[in-house]
Amino acid sequence: MNGSTPLVGAIAGDMVGSLYEARPIKTKEFPLFSRRSRFTDDTVLTIAIADALLGDRGFAASLKRWGRRYPDAGYGGSFIRWLLSDDNEPYNSWGNGSAMRVSAVGYACDSVASVLQQAEQTAVVTHDHPEGIKGAQAVALSVFLARSGADKLCIKSEMHARFKYDLNRLLDHIRPRYQFDVSCQGSVPESLIAFIESADYEDAIRNAVSLGGDSDTMACIAGAIAQAHYGGVPQWIVEAVEERLPSDLLEVMNRFDEVHGTGTN
C-alpha cells in the first residue's frame, strides 16, 4: 500500500480518532498513534461499501456481511439491531454513520450526478432520513471534487450551495462549546471545516480530533477529503494503518486501489 491508495486517509483518521472518542480533547497536540489505536466501525463499513462497489453484492448485503464479521467494532445501537436482524428495512437515521462509510464513492464514480446518486444509495439502506442522505452525499462529493482538482473554496461553495452547510465558522470559535454529536447535521459540517482549515493531511486529522466530538468519525471524514485534496497520506501513517488492519480488510483496500486508484494524486 502507498500513501495515495484510496481509503487509507479515511481509515487512518478512524484509527487516530479511536483513542479520543471516549476521552474528548480540545487540543491539536496529541500522539497520532499508540498501542491502543485501532480500527472501528467506520473502517469496517468503509470497506463494506468499497467491497460492494467492486462486486455484485448490494450495499445492504455487504454492510451486513462485513458488520457481522466484526460485530464488536463499535456500531451504534440502531445499526447493530439492523445488522443482526433478518430485516433490511431502513430506520430513518440522520446519524453520521452514512457519512463515515461513503468515501469510496468519491473514487468509484466519474461525475457529480453519479456521485450524488450512488452516495444516496449507500445511505438509504439504513439512513433514509434526508439529513442522513445529505451527509453521505456531501462527503462523497467533497472527496470527488478534491481528487478532481477542485480547490477548497470550490468545495466549500458547493457544500453550501447544495446542502446549505454553514462552513464560514472557524474551528477556534467552534471548539470551546462543541460537544459529542452523532448527527450528520451536527458533525459533517464541522468535519468539512476541519479539512478546509488544514495545512496538510495530518493537520486535518488533528483539527477534527481537537473539536472534542465524535472523533473517530470526524477524523475519518476529514481524512478522506484531505487525502484526496493533498494527493496522499504520509508513508509513516500508511505503515501505522497496515500494522493495525486485518488481512481481509487490507485485501479489499488493495483491490479497490487496483480498480480505482488511478488519478488519486
pLDDT digits (tens, 9 = 90+) for 116-154: 999 999 999 999 999 999 999 999 999 999 999 999 999
Higher pLDDT, 4 or 204: 204
Is the pLDDT assigned to residue 1 strictly greater than 80? Answer: no
pLDDT at 3: 77
pLDDT of residue 263: 43
Query: Residue 177: how many CB atoms within 10 A of its CB?
Result: 7
pLDDT of 219 higher than 90: yes
Q: Tell me, yes or no, whether 2 lies in a domain.
A: no
- The Cα–Cα gap between 29 and 27 comes to 5
pLDDT band, very low/low/confident/very high, at 262 (cuts 50, 70, 90)? low
Integer angstrom CA distances of residue 187 from 85, 94, 107:
28, 11, 22
118 in a structural domain:
yes
**Domain assignment of residue 49, yes or no:** yes
Which cell numbers hold the place of 172? 477556534
* Residue 239 lies inside a defined structural domain of this protein: yes
For the cut 70, the answer to whether the pLDDT of residue 183 exceeds it is yes
CATH of the domain at 168: 1.10.4080.10
Residue that the C-alpha cell 494503518 belongs to: 241
Domain contains 135: yes
Is 73 inside any structural domain? yes
- Domain count of the chain? 1
Question: Lowest-confidence range among 99-103, 204-208, 260-264?
Answer: 260-264
Angle between helix 184-196 and 201-210 (nearest 10): 140
Q: How confident is the model at residue 70 (pLDDT cuts 50, 70, 90)?
A: very high
Residue given cell 456481511 in the structure block: 65
pTM of this prediction?
0.97
Note down the domain range covering 83.
8-26+38-260
Confidence grade of residue 4 (pLDDT, cut at 50, 70, 90)? confident
Q: Is residue 265 part of a domain?
A: no
31 occurs within a structural domain: no
What local confidence, expressed as pLDDT, does residue 57 receive? 85
